Amino acid sequence: MTQLYQHSACELAQQIQQRQVRSIEAVAACFQQIERHNHQLKAVITPCREQAELAAKQADAMLERGETVGVLHGVPFTVKDLTPTAGVRTSFGSRIYQDFVPQQDELCVARLRAAGAILIGKTNTPEFGMGAHCSNFLYGPTANPYDPERSSGGSSGGAAVAVATGMGYLAQGTDIGGSCRTPASFCGVVGLRPAAGRIPRRRKPLLWDYLDTDGILVRSVEDAALMLSVMAGEDWRDPVSIGSSDWPMPSFALLPEAVEEHLGSLRIGFSPDLGVAMVDAEVVAVFRQAMEQIGSLCPQIQETHPDCTTAQFAFETMRAATLLHKQKHHYENYRNLLSDSVCWNIERGIGLSAADLLQAEADRDRLYLNFLRFFQQHDVLITVSASVPPYLHSETEILTINGVALRNIIDYLTITYTISLTGLPAISIPCGWTTSGLPIGIQIIGQPRGEAALLQTAYCLQAALNFRHRWPELKDR
């Protein structure tokens, strides 16, 4: 029998609205999972049980009076500890901010709360979101629920583990180079990086920056669409924000023949490596098996990809310059408190010239135009979601793949950061398992601002091929 913590967010929202389940029961179910497994997995760095229980009681009382707040009325969610939450500690995974309590929510959090969702805790992250492991001096490492000796992925690993194990129904994450998609692949859940500007941010050191975006980690494509519908929407305080009128909520009540028709007409391009990424051989094997399954339903499928050769210099240069600008104060004043990984990332920006940055911008322009040409002939592009399977905690950085040395400690993210550069929407969904029982995901990339079509395609693959989350077998602590 399905336990309450195993219900989808869509199911729970409907059950609460129909008064079949009380919000206080849903909150209790999440905290029961936290009590059972968080000691081992270390997904939730700051629980806020007292506030959540109070909010749940208020939500239930409102329903008793015939009142509702929004589509997420009474649904528990978590927020990554990089994202400010009013009245709840936000450490950014750093000793510098270990006691910091913001006075205001980030906009996406405020929108989730305004829709009735209930914050139950902050999820773990590497310091300032930089690092292969979801670990920091304050907490961690966050363990993979399918093998606690292995990584949950960075940097939204805590968010991915929380939803994978029922510690929450919805999880907010962030994504620069793959920080939602990598943990989604590692933990067998759905990870969405929306189109650039789809989820606006008021709190940005650089208002025109869109490499770093809020993202979503959930257990189903339907839940991703529901969460995005609340978080999205234009806000003029973020000049790159875009409206939500161009993506109506996809239909997820499709009959099997409608799913078959959608997949039959889909024009798919696929590539395990985009011609630029090193990918683990076992990941490639699982990916090709998944593509054979997809090809059995989608006759218009071709192994091809855009020219991505400009991506590495462009991303590394732009990311390094941005991180130096954002973190220079911390580096100059608190260097002794920062991790080696954070220092390495900040130092990459020292010495960059204006010419370097402008060349990176020009390279990104060429990359984007290459993708536009690709999408004239294809509806979606499919790649792996992570270049490696979940790795042991003892591997402090990913330095080799298939026995070949990588150029640096972020090179293993090439498969995802290439897509980040374009600003295109991308979603990771589970697609298979390694021989040792570790989850692997595929990354589906959509057309510009094409979340509606992207989510519809991901849903059809989820429905037709059972590309979905499976509950890990965990022992109580």
Catalytic residues: 80, 155, 179
CA dihedral over 145, 293, 378, 254, signed as positive or negative: negative
d(CA 373, CA 378): 9
Cα of first residue to Cα of last residue in the chain, in angstroms, is 22
Neighbours of 48 (CB within 10 A): 21
DSSP symbol at 460: H
Contacts of 45 (CB under 8 A, 6+ apart): 81, 91, 93, 121, 122, 123, 124, 125, 138, 139, 140, 158
**In whole angstroms, what is the distance from residue 14 CA to residue 10 CA?**
6
Preceding omega of 141 cis (within 30 degrees of 0): yes
CA distances to 177, 193, 294, 382, 451 from 426, in Å: 12, 5, 18, 9, 8
* CA gap 272, 281 in Å, rounded: 10
Query: Tokens 């135009």 map to which residue?
Result: 369
- Give the burial string for 306-330 (b: 16+ CB within 10 Å, else e): bbbebbbebbbbbbbbbbbebbeeb
Q: How far is CA 365 from CA 250, 310, 353, 369, 421, in A?
A: 30, 9, 19, 6, 9
How does strand 426-433 pair with strand 439-445? antiparallel
| Strand-strand pairing, 190-193 and 213-218 | antiparallel
Q: Show Cβ contacts of residue 413 under 8 Å, excluding neighbours closer than 6 positions.
A: 177, 178, 182, 387
Give the pairing of strands 76-80 and 118-123: parallel
Q: What share of the chain is helix, strand, coil (3-state, %, to 5)?
A: 40, 15, 45
The residue assigned the tokens 């940097």 is 155
Question: Which of 415, 470, 469 minimizes the C-alpha distance to 221?
Answer: 469
